[in-house]
A and B are shown apart, each in its own frame.
Chain A
Amino acid sequence: MQRLQGIAVSPGVAIGEAIVFDHEGFRIPRRFLPRDAVEAELTRLDESIAAAASEIDLNRQRVAEQLGDDYAAIFSAHLQMLQDRRLHDELEQMIRDRHYSAEYSVSRALRRYAKVFLSLEGDTMAERANDIFDIEKRLLRHLLGQRREGLGELTSEVLILAHNLTPSETANLSPEFVRGFVTEMGGPGSHTAIVAEALDIPAVVGTGPFLTEVSGGETVIIDGDHGLVILQPDEETLARYRHEVDEHRHLAAKLETLRDLPADTLDGHHVTLLGNIEFPAEAKQCQERGSEGIGLYRTEFLYLSRDVQPSEEDHVLAYNEVTQAMQGLPVVMRTLDLGADKIPNFPMPEDEPNPFLGLRSIRLTLKHLDLFRTQLRAMLRASTSGNLRIMFPLITTLIELRRAKMVLSDAMEDLDEEGIDFDRNIQVGMMVEVPSAVLMMDRFVEEVDFFSIGTNDLVQYALAVDRNNKDVASLYTASDPAVLRLIRMAINAAKKRDKPISMCGQMSGNPQYTMLLLGLGLRSFSIVPAAIPEIKRICRSVTIPQCEELAERVMTLDSSRDVKTALLEELTRLLPDQPV
């Protein structure tokens, strides 16, 4: 049994069969063979080499006919590599003496060559390494046969263990079969974390290297509550976690009964619970969990799940789906909130060693107005199909906000001229996620209709911590007194002018903070749909004076640790069965 400590980014416990994705997205199980399977494995290896060889030869012939022998030469070299006797001896020795599976042997042997090529000087050496990867993939495809599975082609429930998952990989996965994530890289706020939360499955990120320790098909436990991953668990541990899974289920059933009840505190204050969503399909989930609208529709996945930038029609289709599903309930759509480095086929900005301080989000859209205009036009067009609101992310200065609003009114004028209908009184809001915006709240309140505090970025900018850097990630916490002060300032400034303010970061969906936030005056929470019942139960179990007393006490504390301890004590006292 082996325990790995990572960062807990999405709660819950999952026990199940692991699949392992390496850098290339291929799963390469390090499987050991039983002694009597060695001969069969060697046959399997030879068959796959033969199959790959005839495939390459076919390619060679086809290309030779169409383009001439010179172009086909690369295939004849690949053929020569594939049938290399040294390689074959090495593979045979790995299978025979070390009892490695054919897949693992192929991958290991070929990658060793690729590594040597990459270390050599010369213009063509990187190409040689690519030749090797090409051959590796070809062979693995034959070896894995039916078992070859991309993230989108899963056929049974699995836990995904990966070095890192790109946004497009996570966007294309089959949610019905994925039961949990573990990634070696990443931190809170990484895309894996957001997707896991959206899918309501446990996830642990930033564990550091471990993929070589685990093979596909093994039973693995992901403890998303404590950021633990347990490889090769013993019987006792398995039993303990199975018990925990049962309890989770029990609590979920209990929460289910709250669905149609309002999120009112014991002393009758109403709390608005909204959903955060990534994909239009999640709007339904929000409805099912009893949300009063969508407080944050992240539109980024429109950009990430395809190679070309989405057209105005693509946007409109997605937006209409959401507004219609919500049947007149408010839907807050955030404009593109990505760095230039994350958008496929987008020019990389020069001098960008610090993407989080660089050209991202509203700064990017204000620089690439065509992109911004397309999205704003689509939002305006969709505004007739429901109750749509527009929100600008990462606003840092007043001028930025004014410029964004100017582009919006230009888009309105254009639509007017074209005779296209839209909601003229559409509400416009901004994210409060940069400390400068908090400090300038008294000015911003005059210029927007609503606010939403984005704690993920606010924490990172206030505390100067890269949440994806595991060496400093522990400094990244919403419970830091400085962050709490910023939040209090923002809430107070908005309240003073009666402007609605909500919170849509991960903090708002974390039950530990619910009482504190209520005590600070927050009455609207935008959270992952899955967390709605939990937060609702807390709201229904407290009184506002009780929360205010807690907030007052907590705001005098010196450190995030003291804050966390105080919040935890209060919550467990109130709801002993609440998992934290």
Chain B
Amino acid sequence: MADPVVTQTFVVSTEQGLHLRPAEQLAKLAGRYASQIGLVYQSQRVDAKSILEMLTLGAVKGASVVVEARGSDAADAVQAIVALVTNDFSSEEETNTIK
């Protein structure tokens, strides 16, 4: 039985785009889920658990990024990631409580 794919689009709102700290937080958060999680931006797809790959996206402020997850906890993962981004990566504690 194939796991369902969950996708959702978010817009990068941090001033410097998906830069070092946001990427770090996002990678850390993604790492807590069993699902495969990818980010797609301008037809480039990267592993959301890899900070290095995420930085190669060069997603700037206003970039529209699709998060897609496949796996047992895919829905939770996508929800948590979108929450992190919409909260402007402001508090990691908040994202912890989501899990």
Those of B16-33 within 8 Å (CB) of chain A: 16-17, 19-21, 23-24, 27-28
| Cβ-closest chain A residue relative to B27 | A80
Known: A84-B50, A86-B52, A87-B52. A77 touches B58 (CB 8 A): no
Q: B51 at the A/B interface (Cβ < 8 Å)? A: yes
Q: Are A128 and B49 in contact (CB-based, < 8 A)?
A: no
**Contact in complex: A120, B24 (CB < 8 Å):** no
Say what secondary structure dominates the interface of chain B.
helix
- Per-position binary interface string of chain B over residues 48-61, scored 1 when its CB falls under 8 Å from any chain A CB and 0 otherwise: 01111101101010
Question: How many residues of B sit at the interface, in one of the four size bands?
Answer: 10 to 19
Q: Which residues of B contact A76 (CB under 8 A)?
A: 24
The reply to whether A81 and B52 form a contact with Cβ atoms under 8 Å apart is: yes
Cβ A131 vs Cβ B20 within 8 A: yes
Q: Which A residues contact B (CB, under 8 angstroms)? A: 73-74, 76-77, 80-81, 84-87, 113, 116-117, 120-125, 128, 131
What are 15 A-B contacts with C-beta separation under 8 Å? A73-B20, A73-B21, A73-B24, A74-B20, A76-B24, A77-B23, A77-B24, A80-B24, A84-B27, A86-B47, A113-B55, A121-B58, A122-B19, A122-B58, A124-B20
Chain B residues whose CB sits within 8 angstroms of the CB of A121 once the complex forms: 58, 60
Return B69 CB to nearest CB of chain A, in Å: 16
Q: Within the complex, which residue of B17, B52, B58 is in contact with A113, where a contact is CB–CB below 8 Å?
A: B52
- Tell me the nearest residue of chain B to A131, going by C-beta: B20
Q: Which of B17, B20, B47, B50 touches A77 (beta carbons < 8 Å)?
A: B20
Looking at the assembled complex, report how far the CB atom of B86 sits from the nearest CB atom of chain A, in whole angstroms.
21
Q: Are B56 and A80 in contact (CB under 8 A)?
A: no
B36 to chain A, nearest CB (A): 12
Q: Which residue of A lies closest to B50 (CB)?
A: A86
Asked if A77 and B51 make an inter-chain contact with CB atoms under 8 angstroms apart, the answer reads: yes
Check A122 against B60 for contact (C-beta < 8 Å). yes
Please, which residue of chain A has its CB at the minimum distance from the CB of B31?
A: A85
A77 to B52, CA, bound (A): 10
**Taking A121-B58, A122-B58 as contacts, is the C-beta distance between A80 and B51 under 8 angstroms?**
yes
CA–CA, A260 and B66, complex, Å: 83
The answer to whether A77 touches B56 (Cβ under 8 A) is no
Chain B residue with minimal CB distance to A74? B20
Q: How far does the alpha carbon of A225 sit from the alpha carbon of B64 in the complex, in Å? A: 62
- Which chain A residue has the least Cβ–Cβ distance from B22? A77
Looking across the interface, which residue of chain B has its beta carbon closest to that of A120? B58
In the complex, the chain B residue whose C-beta lies closest to that of A121 is: B58
Whole-angstrom CA separation of A86 from B53 in the bound complex? 8
Whether A81 and B16, one on each chain, are in contact in the complex, defined by CB atoms closer than 8 angstroms, is no
Q: Which residue of chain B has the shortest Cβ distance to A115 in the bound complex?
A: B56
Closest beta carbon of chain A to B56's beta carbon, Å = 5
Taking A85-B49, A121-B60 as given, write out 20 further A-B residue pairs in contact, using a Cβ cutoff of 8 Å, ordered by the A residue number: A73-B21, A77-B20, A77-B23, A80-B24, A80-B28, A80-B51, A84-B27, A84-B53, A85-B47, A85-B50, A86-B47, A86-B53, A87-B50, A87-B52, A113-B56, A120-B58, A122-B16, A122-B58, A124-B16, A124-B19
- How many angstroms between the C-alpha atoms of A495 and B89 in the bound complex? 81
Report B-chain residues with C-beta under 8 Å of the C-beta of A77: 20-21, 23-24, 51
Q: How far is the CB of B14 from chain A (nearest CB, A)?
A: 11
Chain B residues in 8 Å Cβ range of A87: 50, 52
The residue of chain B having its C-beta at the shortest distance from the C-beta of A127 within the complex is: B20
Among B19, B28, B52: residue with most chain A CB under 10 A: B52
B39-81 interface mask toward A, CB cutoff 8 Å, 1 = contact, 0 = none?
A: 0000000010111110110101000000000000000000000
Q: Are A128 and B50 in contact (CB under 8 A)?
A: no
- Residue among A113, A122, A131 facing the most chain B CB atoms (10 A cut-off): A122
- Distance in Å: Cβ of A113 to nearest Cβ of chain B: 5
CA distance A113 to B16 in the complex (A): 19
Report the Cα distance A74→B56, complex, angstroms: 18
* Contact, CB under 8 Å: A125 / B58: yes
Contact B20 A84 (CB under 8 A): no
Q: How far is the CA of A80 from the CA of B27 in the complex (A)?
A: 8
Chain B contacts for A117, CB-based, 8 A: 55-56
Neighbouring A residues of B52 by C-beta, 8 Å: 81, 84, 86-87, 113
Chain A residue contacts of B21, Cβ below 8 A:
73, 77
Kindly report which residue of chain A lies nearest to residue B60, judged by CB atoms.
A122
Taking the nearest CB of chain B, how far is it from the CB of A472, in angstroms?
40
Q: How far is the CA of A117 from the CA of B20 in the complex (A)?
A: 12
B31 to chain A, nearest CB (A): 8
Min C-beta distance of B84 to chain A, whole Å: 15
Closest to A79 in B: B24
Contacts of B20 in A (CB 8 A): 73-74, 77, 124, 128, 131
**What is the CA–CA distance of A84 and B58 in the complex, to the nearest angstrom?**
18
B17 close to A122 (CB less than 8 A): yes
Chain B residue with the shortest CB-CB distance to A87: B52
In the bound complex, residues from chain B placing their C-beta under 8 Å from that of A73 are 20-21, 24
- Structural contact, B24 and A123, CB atoms closer than 8 A: no
Q: What separation, in Å, do the CA atoms of A85 and B47 have in the docked complex? A: 10
Taken together as a complex, chains A and B put the C-alpha atoms of A113 and B23 apart, in Å, by 15
Closest chain B CB from A68 CB (angstroms): 14
Contact with B56, one of A116, A123, A124, A131 (Cβ below 8 angstroms):
A116
* Complex Cα gap A123–B15 (Å): 11
Q: Closest CB-CB distance, B65 to chain A, in whole Å?
A: 15
Q: Which of A73, A80, A117 has the most CB of B within 10 A?
A: A80
Flag if B56 contacts A81 (CB, 8 Å).
no
Q: How far is the CB of B79 from chain A (nearest CB, A)?
A: 22
Residue from the set B16, B51, B56 with the largest chain A CB neighbour count within 10 Å: B51
- Does the CB pair B55–A128 fall under 8 Å? yes
Q: Which residues of chain B have C-beta atoms less than 8 A from A124's C-beta?
A: 16, 19-20
